[in-house]
């Protein structure tokens, strides 16, 4: 009897482990565009996806807004885009991405089991030229929040079985200069929905339905400027 109970325990543990691993796998990143194929509606995946792997540490936030500790990933978008998608998962889990941008913090903490309840924003600045990008000018720039998301049913569940990972899709509003996806400096903001610390590995992806040659993504303005020199 003890052998049977022990065997059942091992099987249960294996099932839970496999479920957890599967829950952390990212599939295709679907856009807002879909098409009918017979009785089914097929969501068209984004064709251009940039992946960033990072690690957020408690106490290293970039800004505190409305009681929340925000971290930023800066993005240079070099061309007009019809739509942008952003998604984030923590922990980073089973990563299968083409040429991801890997931060040193992620490499140092790749085995960490820490994760957080992601909450993301897509923000646009009034900086429209590379020549106007500097740490000083970014601090005084005007930022407009285009879209935000807390929990998405389109994302894998976290290891705790909760749908706490985030995904947003934003369609350009060409009638409003502040909300149009034009050339310029953007940022992905991330924090937790509940007030508290952000700690753990994460994968963040920025996507578009068209190729955007020259997109730059970095955790700091210094690193972003270095990408322009490549």
Looking up residue 100, the CATH number of its domain turns out to be 2.60.120.380
In a domain, 107, yes or no: yes
- Only one residue has tokens 């971290």, namely 71
In a domain, 9, yes or no: no
pLDDT of residue 217: 96
pLDDT of residue 196: 73
Q: Mind listing the pLDDT tens digit of every residue in the chain (230 residues)?
A: 444 434 334 333 333 333 344 446 788 899 998 877 778 878 889 999 999 999 999 899 999 988 889 999 999 999 999 999 999 999 998 777 889 999 999 999 999 999 999 999 999 999 999 999 999 999 999 999 999 999 998 899 999 999 999 999 999 999 999 999 999 999 999 999 877 789 999 999 999 999 999 999 999 999 999 988 76
* Number of independent structural domains in the chain: 1
The parent domain of residue 152 ranges over 47-228
b (16+ CB within 10 A) / e for 105-125: bbeebeeeebbbbbbbbbbbb
pLDDT of residue 133: 96
In a domain, 205, yes or no: yes
Cβ atoms of residues 188 and 219 within 8 Å: no
Q: List pLDDT tens digits, range 107-122.
A: 999 999 999 999 999 9
In a domain, 143, yes or no: yes
């Amino acid at each position: 009897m003890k052998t049977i109970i022990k065997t059942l325990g091992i099987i249960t543990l294996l099932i839970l482990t496999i479920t957890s691993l599967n829950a952390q796998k990212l599939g295709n990143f679907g856009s807002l565009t879909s098409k009918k194929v017979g009785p089914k509606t097929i969501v068209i995946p984004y064709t251009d996806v940039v992946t960033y792997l990072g690690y957020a540490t408690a106490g290293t936030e970039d800004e505190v807004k409305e009681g929340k500790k925000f971290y930023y990933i800066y993005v240079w978008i070099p061309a007009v885009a019809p739509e942008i998608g952003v998604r984030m998962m923590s922990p980073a889990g089973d990563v299968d991405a083409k040429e991801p941008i890997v931060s040193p913090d992620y490499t140092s903490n790749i085995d960490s089991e820490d994760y957080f309840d992601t909450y993301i924003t897509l923000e646009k600045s009034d900086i429209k030229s590379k020549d106007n990008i500097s740490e000083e000018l970014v601090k005084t720039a005007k930022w407009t929040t285009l879209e935000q998301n807390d929990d998405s049913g389109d994302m894998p569940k976290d290891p705790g079985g909760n749908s706490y990972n985030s995904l947003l899709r934003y369609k350009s509003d060409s009638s409003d200069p502040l909300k149009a996806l034009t050339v310029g400096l953007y940022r992905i903001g991330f924090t937790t929905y509940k007030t508290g610390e952000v700690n753990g590995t994460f994968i963040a992806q920025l996507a578009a339905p068209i190729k955007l040659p020259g997109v730059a993504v970095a955790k700091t303005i210094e690193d972003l400027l270095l990408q322009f020199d490549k």
